[in-house]
């Protein structure tokens, strides 16, 4: 399973490059092992729960429309990412693999482990970007949380040019 992450409202070239790397490596491994390839992207609509109840309450039809537009934007971005891989010359591989694409609503830290168990995944490939806090220092907070919830092998992919903040003592 290849886990890709992006924000369709804030397109970052470094995220696109990391996602392409994840997909290319996943496809190569799946082909070499004659395995099934699953691709997952988890999304959520920011503020949905607040708009459904509480201080930011909005009518149900408004919130439903907002959530649907958010899903459509994520689907479009995922389709664009996958089309970019096919355009790069992996069309034959994609035709052979027939990847199963999962666009899942929720939070990655919860939904990726759930899909790994549900689909009986042997290997999860995901990007890791250490951002904040001690747990996320090396891996990234979401990757760290996912690792603690799954029982399969993980191949963590760092962004191109990543330099570890860890220094060896002399």
Instruction: Return the SS3 of 44.
Output: coil
133 pLDDT above the threshold of 60: no
Distance CA 67, CA 30 (A): 33
pLDDT digits 0-9 by tens, 56-105: 999 999 999 999 999 999 999 999 999 877 655 556 666 677 899 999 99
Which residue bears the tokens 């694409």?
A: 101
- Candidates 91, 96, 83, 81; CA nearest to 13 is 81
Q: Residues 31, 32, 33, 34: is their CA dihedral positive or negative?
A: positive
Q: State the architecture of 2-157 in CATH terms.
A: 3-Layer(aba) Sandwich (3.40)
Q: How confident is the model at residue 118 (pLDDT cuts 50, 70, 90)?
A: very high
pLDDT for the residue 85: 74
Task: Compute the C-alpha angle 22/166/124, nearest 5°.
Answer: 25
Q: Is 140 exposed, middle or buried (0-12, 13-18, 19+ CB in 10 A)?
A: buried
Q: How far apart are CA 96 and CA 82, in angstroms?
A: 15
Phi, psi of 126, rounded to the nearest 5 degrees: -150, 155
pLDDT, residue 132, reads 42
Domain boundaries, the chain: 2-157
Question: Which pTM value belongs to this model?
Answer: 0.85
Query: How confident is the model over 14-61, as pLDDT tens digits?
Result: 889 999 999 989 988 998 888 999 999 999 999 999 999 878 999 999
Q: Which among 108, 95, 90, 88 has a CA at the least distance from the CA of 40?
A: 108
């Amino acid at each position: 399973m290849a886990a890709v992450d992006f924000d369709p409202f804030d397109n970052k070239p470094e995220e696109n490059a990391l996602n392409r790397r994840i997909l290319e490596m996943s496809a190569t491994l799946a082909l070499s092992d004659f395995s099934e390839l699953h691709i997952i992207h988890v999304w959520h609509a920011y503020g949905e729960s607040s708009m459904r109840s509480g201080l930011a309450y909005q009518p149900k039809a408004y919130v439903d429309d907002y959530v649907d537009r958010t899903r459509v934007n994520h689907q479009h971005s995922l389709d664009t990412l996958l089309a970019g891989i096919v355009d790069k010359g992996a069309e034959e591989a994609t035709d052979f693999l027939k990847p199963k694409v999962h666009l899942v609503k929720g939070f990655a830290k919860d939904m990726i482990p759930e899909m790994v168990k549900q689909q009986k995944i042997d290997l999860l490939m995901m990007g890791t970007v250490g951002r904040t806090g001690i747990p996320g220092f090396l891996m990234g907070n979401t990757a760290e949380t996912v690792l603690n919830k799954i029982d399969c092998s993980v191949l963590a992919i760092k962004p191109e040019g990543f330099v570890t903040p860890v220094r060896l003592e002399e």
